[in-house]
Amino acid sequence: MNESRIPDADDEAVAVEPLALPLDAWHRARGARMVEFAGYLMPVQYEGIIAEHLWTRESAGLFDVSHMGQLGVSSGDDGGKAAALALEALLPGDISALKPGRMRYSLLLAEDGGILDDLMVTCTGRDYAIVVNGATKWDDIGHMREHLPDEITLRHFDEQALLALQGPKAVDALSRLGPVPLHGDGTALAALKFMQADIYDWGGRRLGISRSGYTGEDGFEISVAAEDAAALADALADQPEVKPIGLGARDSLRLEAGLPLYGHDLDEATDPVAAGLAFAISKRRRAEGGFPGAERILALLESGSPRQRVGLALEGRMAAREGALVLAGEREVGLVTSGGFSPSLQHPIAMAYVEAALAAPGTRLELDNRGRRLPATVVPLPFVPHRYYR
Amino acid sequence: MSRYFTEDHEWIEVDGEVGTVGITDYAQSQLGDITFVELPAVGQQVGKGDSVSVVDSVKAASDVYSPVSGEVTDANQALADEPELVNSDAEVSGWLFRVKLSDPGELGKLMDRAGYDAYVGGL
């Protein structure tokens, strides 16, 4: 037999030896199978993808996402005003309107409006903290260095690890560790809402915690100094609600949540409107423009995109994978960009780009998966409802 | 009865002129949770090395190649409801299909258990 396709592991390959992340030994000691992803050796699974997936939906899963790029954009003593304006030249979000402790999903756009990366940007009150994808971080840094004005400082916090604790019991487990807001006017951990962030002290260690994630569940992402990462991972994994979860389940969880994965569902040839990410183009920016590709993107917002990202529910048990063609009769009408078996729904699901006229929920299509025709129906995204704490 | 192994991680157990084929325990451990198995049709003629079955796991779809040439005489219908049998019992009840061998000489090119264990140990 032959594994013809391992989504997420194949097109991230780099020519150099993969690097070890700060928690490499921690993962191995817990029985992780390590694979190369985005230039790093990362845990793909511990006890099994389905068990890890379901555990995260029911309790809390601990993910190591330290491969992601943690960046800082600052502009001296102006409270980040100039940094916000500089970022607005690269992103379609209303960064200036972001209040301290708030974060936004945004897109790094190419001149033609294609998507260079998707990212999270947080206003700290002094500057902006940005988390970008691991596979694209070096390109992102190069792009930002080239396009940000000289008076704007870009930092790469490559000495920081990033852990995600996701699931309905994440708040119980993390609260029990007792992180306290570093600043007197800070937000108590349990009072943080989805897309809010603050700095916490945990036994003399500094944690940057946001209530966010990429599983569709309530949960947190925690930025921690690399040398403190094992202590934090130990303390979290010691909580009865928490198990370590690998990349495999991270992929099936985000797919069920309808969240696009850069390099698969998003790329430079894809615009935000086709991707269903028009919400990332803020109202003020739509009115004013001034972001890369604004002319094209604003026209697409007006006219609608000729193709759209949709969810597909498959009949039967065979999953369609990235690269499968979407057919209406014998006519090729789209392409699957992510697909797999949904552990929560117990049937295969996929995301695909299809012609706009065929994007309505209920539309029946077929997928050509390695020569086999699989019936599929367009369904609304997400496949599994989000359960964010708002 | 004797059991043989391929470099693609199939096993075949031969009883008279019929061989029972599955994937090895090592293979299932590498694939992870198996969610679907596509089986060949009974009566189908297969050649040695032909892709005749697909094992779908949460992370990937994998072809299963026939270790020998012949005619498919049976397929493990229990896998339709319980594909996870390939995870829990890959080398016994998680068998995939049976082939009536047209050229038993093909078995001579396959590995025995010791040879396969050494092969996996070197991966």
Q: Where are the domains of chain A?
A: 5-65+159-256, 306-390
On the question of pLDDT at A12 being above 50, the answer is no
| Cβ contact B33–A49 (<8 Å) | yes
User: Taking each helix axis from N to C terminus, what angle separates A247-256 and A49-58, rounded to the nearest 10 degrees?
Assistant: 60
* Among candidates A1, A7, A321 on the partner chain, residue whose Cβ is nearest the Cβ of B63: A1
- CATH class in words for A306-390: mainly beta
At B123, the pLDDT band (50, 70, 90 cuts) reads confident
At A65, the pLDDT band (50, 70, 90 cuts) reads very high
Burial string for A150-173 (b: 16+ CB within 10 Å, else e) reads eebebebbeebbbbbbbbbbbbbb
CATH of domain A5-65+159-256: 3.30.1360.120
Q: What is the mean pLDDT of chain A?
A: 95
- A178 near A188, Cβ under 8 Å? no
**Mean of pLDDT values over B47-60:** 93
Give A19-36 pLDDT, tens digit per residue.
Answer: 999 999 999 999 999 999
| Cβ contact B61–A319 (<8 Å) | yes
**B91 touches A at CB < 8 Å:** no
Three-point CA angle A16, A21, A23, nearest 5°: 155
By CB neighbour count within 10 A (0-12 exposed, 13-18 middle, 19+ buried), where does A20 fall? middle
Does residue B74 belong to any structural domain of this protein?
Answer: yes
- B63 near B54, Cβ under 8 Å? yes
Does residue B117 belong to any structural domain of this protein?
Answer: no
Closest chain B residue to A340 measured between Cα atoms?
Answer: B58
Cα–Cα dist A270/A115, whole Å: 6
| Cβ contact B54–A7 (<8 Å) | no
**Cα separation values, A180 from A193, A210, B42, Å:** 16, 14, 66
By CB neighbour count within 10 A (0-12 exposed, 13-18 middle, 19+ buried), where does B54 fall? buried
**A340 touches B at CB < 8 Å:** yes
Does residue B78 belong to any structural domain of this protein?
Answer: yes
Does residue B107 belong to any structural domain of this protein?
Answer: no
What is the share, in percent, of chain A residues with pLDDT greater than 70? 96
What residues contact A213, with CB distance under 8 A and at least 6 apart? A164, A166, A219, A220, A221
Range in A152-156, A380-384, B58-62, B80-84 the model is least confident about: B58-62
pLDDT attached to residue A175: 98
CATH number at residue B17: 2.40.50.100
Q: Which tokens in the block code for residue A202?
A: 């945990």
Is the pTM higher than 0.80? The answer reads yes
Give A99-146 pLDDT, tens digit per residue.
Answer: 999 999 999 999 999 999 999 999 999 999 999 999 999 999 999 999
By CB neighbour count within 10 A (0-12 exposed, 13-18 middle, 19+ buried), where does A66 fall? buried
Does residue B86 belong to any structural domain of this protein?
Answer: yes
* Among candidates A2, A49, A372 on the partner chain, residue whose Cβ is nearest the Cβ of B58: A49
Domain around B37: 2-102
At A16, the pLDDT band (50, 70, 90 cuts) reads confident
| Cβ contact A340–B58 (<8 Å) | yes
Range in A82-86, A164-168, A368-372 the model is least confident about: A368-372
**Mean of pLDDT values over A337-360:** 97
Task: From chain B, pick out residues whose CB is under 8 angstroms from the CB of A50.
Answer: 33, 58
| Cβ contact A319–B56 (<8 Å) | yes
Q: Which tokens in the block code for residue A181?
A: 């807001």
Three-class SS state of B109: helix
Distance from CA of A239 to the nearest CA of B (A): 26
For chain B, the domain total comes to: 1
Does residue B110 belong to any structural domain of this protein?
Answer: no
- A311 near A384, Cβ under 8 Å? no
Distance from CA of B28 to the nearest CA of A (A): 10
Residues 187-216 of A with CB under 8 A from B: none
Give A277-320 pLDDT, tens digit per residue.
Answer: 999 999 999 999 999 999 999 999 999 999 999 999 999 999 99
Closest chain A residue to B26 measured between Cα atoms?
Answer: A1
**B78 touches A at CB < 8 Å:** no
Alpha-helical (H) ranges within chain A are 24-29, 49-58, 81-88, 137-147, 170-176, 229-237, 247-256, 283-288, 294-303
**Mean of pLDDT values over A355-382:** 96
At A370, the pLDDT band (50, 70, 90 cuts) reads confident
pLDDT attached to residue A7: 40
On the question of pLDDT at A3 being above 60, the answer is no
Query: Long-range contacts: A175-183, Cβ < 8 Å, 24+?
Result: A176/A239, A177/A202, A177/A235, A177/A236, A177/A239, A178/A202, A179/A207, A179/A209, A182/A206
